[in-house]
Amino acid sequence: MLGLAVLRFALPPPRASASFSTSAAATAAGNICLVDGSLRAVLRPDVSEGDTVAAASAHRWRMVISYDGTKYKGWQYQPSPPTIQCFLEKALIHITKLDRKELCLVGAGRTDTGVHARGQVTHFTTPFAYHCLDSFHSAINGLLPPDIRVREISAACLEFHARTSSKSKIYHYKIYNGAVMDPFHNNYAYHSAHKLNPRAMREAAKHFVGVHDFTSFANAVHNDRVRSPIKRISRFDVTEMVTDDPIT
Contact at 8 Å (CB) between 30 and 44? Answer: yes
167-195: burial string, b at 16+ Cβ within 10 Å, e else: eebeeeebbbbeeeeeeebeebbebeeee
Q: How many CB atoms lie within 10 A of CB 83?
A: 24
Strand (E) or helix (H) holding 138: helix 134-143
Question: Can 112 be counted among the known catalytic residues?
Answer: yes
Q: Distance (Å, rounded) from C-alpha 26 to C-alpha 9? A: 46
Q: Distance (Å, rounded) from C-alpha 15 to C-alpha 8? A: 30
Catalytic residue among 36, 46, 51, 112: 112
With 0-12 / 13-18 / 19 or more C-beta atoms within 10 angstroms meaning exposed / middle / buried, residue 144 is buried
State the catalytic residues. 112
